[in-house]
Structure 1
Amino acid sequence: MSFFRKYFEGTDDRVLMKWAHYYDIYERELAQSRDRPVSFLEIGVFKGGSVPMWKAFLADGSRLTFIDIDPACANHAEPGTTIEIGNQADPDFIEKIARTYGPFDIIVDDGSHVNAHQIKSFELLWPHIADGGVYVVEDCHTSYWPGFGGGYRNEASFIEFAKRLIDRMHSWYTDQDEMFPFDPIAKELESVRFFDSITMIEKRIKTGPPTLYIIENGRIEETTRPLKIRGRRSAFAGKDGS
């Protein structure tokens, strides 16, 4: 946590509240984003502490945009940053933000933490994530709080929504077309990574379906034929006790 620990020592009276382990995650997972200017959006300003933090963490020349529903948060803007006031689940507002400041390399949702808002914001903003970009949702533990629209195994929670993204990412490989058809989002989903209370969803535009390499005697055969097969069975069926 070297960058953040040093940064904390020079903070001012703008309050910054994130769980301690988040900083380790960000220092590790967003390290490559510090090598070049990026377009960054954070949902949620609160007391303004994250505005200077992200400005210091990201590369010089990055475009930093923040949104919050509280008009008072506009006072936390500083040179090189923009703060817009509006509702993270309002399609018209989000479209305006995306049109004006997108596409984004990094989006961090640290807004209301209401599960319906987290899902809606992702659906509205995912098309505006740049190729190779990442969408981050903080405080996913609210998926287990009924007061935030969550609850254990509640299908309306963001965690359950994100679990379904994993299914959708793997829909290339369906063997049950009627109940599990191919989902076009598989052409964009690179990974869905779960950490304690943080979910990171990475975007990578794919020009085609996954390719199987068959390698023999120094030669590579590329094929997508296995994706068209149905009724697959293990080559070891009946040989390993199954």
Structure 2
Amino acid sequence: MGYFSSFLQQTDDRLLTKWLHYFEVYERELTRFRDRPVSFLEIGVFKGGSIPMWKGYFAEGSRLTFVDIDPECTCLAEDGTTVEIGNQADPAFLRELAQKHGPFDVVIDDGSHICPHQVASFEGLWPHVLDHGVYIVEDCHTSYWPGFGGGYRNEASFIEYSKRLVDRMHSWYTDQDALFPFDPIAKEILGVRFYDSIVVVEKHNKKEPPATLTARDGQVKLSRRALQVRGRRSAFSGRDGS
């Protein structure tokens, strides 16, 4: 686990609690943010163990903000970090937080793990994620726990919300305008990645719709005609018995 393996062997009395496999996800998703100062936000302080971890992980000069609902967490801040107290489901608090500390390259939601709170935080903070930034929600297994507002296939769970983000990301290609209209968030999402208990949404602001590319004899052409077509059918329809 590189940095994380070394850090874990040098922790102090501030408790850090993470699922073991999360560290591999951090390496995959966050390594590219280490070569320059970034703006980082983590929701959920608890005993403060992640504060020195992230301070050591990101480049010197990074703006590191941490949020918790417990006022006693303010004493866990250290030089180069800020701890703000507020409710992650409160839109007014999120707006104030973003105005004061955003926009953000990286947001990690390790807060209450309550599904409506996760949705509220995403909707409140996503507009304040920078281009090519990531929004990470941890402990999404609570989406399968009714006591956290989830439950298997419960439409109110964050996992089901994230599945709908996948649909919305693909709404450029709709062939059913009334049932599945274009969603403007498609202009902002590069990808939605699902890991065990973690959802990562990466932002990429797109000035233009997707284009198909053709290349022949060294000539490269782009076209968006396919986005305008309706009633599409596969060129292979009927050839395989379908």
The aligned counterpart of 1:108 is 108
Deviation at residue 18 of structure 1 after TM alignment: 0.4
Q: Deviations over 1:113-160 (max 9, x none)?
A: 000000000000000000110000000000000000000000000000
3-state SS of 1:185 partner:
helix
Deviation at residue 236 of structure 1 after TM alignment: 0.6
Deviation at residue 216 of structure 1 after TM alignment: 1.4
Q: Deviations over 1:68-113 (max 9, x none)?
A: 0000110100000000000001111111110010000000000000
Letter in 2 for 1:215: A
Deviation at residue 185 of structure 1 after TM alignment: 0.2
Identical counterparts, % of pairs: 65
1:3 and 1:27 in contact (8 A); partners too: no
Deviation at residue 28 of structure 1 after TM alignment: 2.0
Q: Distance in 2 between matches of 1:53 and 1:109?
A: 16
The aligned counterpart of 2:70 is 70
The aligned counterpart of 1:98 is 98
Deviation at residue 31 of structure 1 after TM alignment: 0.5
Q: Deviations over 1:151-187 (max 9, x none)?
A: 0000000000000000000000000000000000000
Letter in 1 for 2:135: Y
| TM-score, length of structure 1 as denominator length | 0.99
User: Where do residues 1-242 of structure 1 align in structure 2 (5 Å cutoff)?
Assistant: 1-242=1-242
The 10-residue stretch of structure 1 (21-30 or 71-80) with the greater mean CA deviation from structure 2: 21-30
| TM-score, length of structure 2 as denominator length | 0.99
Deviation at residue 24 of structure 1 after TM alignment: 1.0
Q: Deviations over 1:187-226 (max 9, x none)?
A: 0000000000000000000011001111112111111000
Q: Distance in 2 between matches of 1:184 and 1:28?
A: 28
Structure 2: which 5+ residue stretches go unaligned? none
Which structure 1 residue ranges, 4+ long, deviate > 6 Å from structure 2? none
3-state SS of 2:6 partner:
helix
Letter in 2 for 1:92: A
3-state SS of 1:30 partner:
helix
Letter in 2 for 1:187: K
1:63 and 1:81 in contact (8 A); partners too: yes
1:143 and 1:159 in contact (8 A); partners too: yes
Q: Deviations over 1:23-60 (max 9, x none)?
A: 11101221000111100000000000000000011111
Q: Distance in 2 between matches of 1:14 and 1:119?
A: 29
Residues paired across the two proteins, number: 242
Structure 1: which 5+ residue stretches go unaligned? none
Q: Distance in 2 between matches of 1:207 and 1:215?
A: 23
Alpha-carbon RMSD across the aligned residues, in angstroms, is 0.5
3-state SS of 1:181 partner:
coil
Q: Distance in 2 between matches of 1:136 and 1:148?
A: 18
